Amino acid sequence: MHFEIKILGSGSATPAWGRHLSSQILNIEHQYLMIDCGEATQFRVIYEKVKVKKLNHIFISHLHGDHYFGIFGLLSTLNLNGRKNDLHIYGPRGLDEVIVTNLRISNSVLGYKLIFHEINLEKNEKSKTLLENDTFKITAFPLCHRITCFGFLFTAQSKTSKINAANLPKNFPFELIRELKAGNDVRWEGEDFLSSKLTYTKEEKKEYAYCTDTIIQEGIIPIIKGVDLLYHEATFMEDNVHRAKTTFHSTASQAGKFAAQAQVKKLIVGHFSSRYKELDLLLEEAQQYFENTELALEGRNFTI
């Protein structure tokens, strides 16, 4: 099962030191999804040669500009390129109003349909499924920021047919193995081989959690515990912990501690403040508490 995350932007608030604003592309079994769409996202999409024709779902975490100001240009470019397929946009209340107002005032008519999905958790809801199909499931959960903000859990799920090779004769033809795995019975050297007796179904699951713009939320650990890959914001270093607290952000060390507590397999940190030209010290700070940490550098691919 193919599951890849490409980092398009990893900065916070303003572009600096060659870093752009928050955006990521997920490729799950060659279906494309976008998380956040900060300023210059379409430039990054072009530079990274992302196949946006395959993009059908965009998830916006919250309505601070560095996470969605790029969507206006992206929608326009998709239209200029002749897009016809529906585009689904998920985000907090007000996102649809902002986009529709922009299109109306600019007298822009899209040649494709926008379908808005407002993310709205009830008071006692800890998470909500936004989308589910045979390939993946996307769940939203609340983060703690200055305005309404959501994190996302992306679960790739598939069922594959496996063969009990030990029950097959030596030199059994490979093309007949493929037939068995496809559910077909076969005959070889005068003997019948039944797919139902020689194959079994194996379920495969891969998980990626996206936690941006938030103070540490231990309450979401049951939702993301043990994920294969966690993206967590690390806007500041620990010497700016007071600044992180007042702006509802996290430090690199806090992100590392949280990853360890959530027992994730790997952590990538991003949403770096423009005050940091070099990022090695942020990485070291996170690795003090969670060794398997990497920087969410732009252009990097992370494969689960």
Residues contacting 50, CB < 8 A, separation 6+: 6, 8, 25, 32
Q: How far apart are CA 135 and CA 31, in angstroms?
A: 9
Q: Is 213 a residue of the active site?
A: no
**Amino acid found at 63:** L
Q: How far apart are CA 301 and CA 31, in angstroms?
A: 16
> Of the listed 36, 66, 213, 228, which one is catalytic?
66
Of 146, 100, 140, residue with least CA distance to 121: 140
Residue 71, phi then psi, degrees to nearest 5: -70, -30
- Burial code of 51-87, b = ≥16 C-beta within 10 A, e = fewer? ebeebebbbbbbbbebbbbbbbebbbebbeeebeeeb
Q: How far apart are CA 35 and CA 247, in angstroms?
A: 22
Residues contacting 111, CB < 8 A, separation 6+: 79, 82, 83, 84
Q: How far apart are CA 245 and CA 146, in angstroms?
A: 11
Q: Is the alpha carbon torsion for 226, 229, 233, 237 positive or negative?
A: positive
Length of the chain: 304
Q: Which residues are catalytic?
A: 66
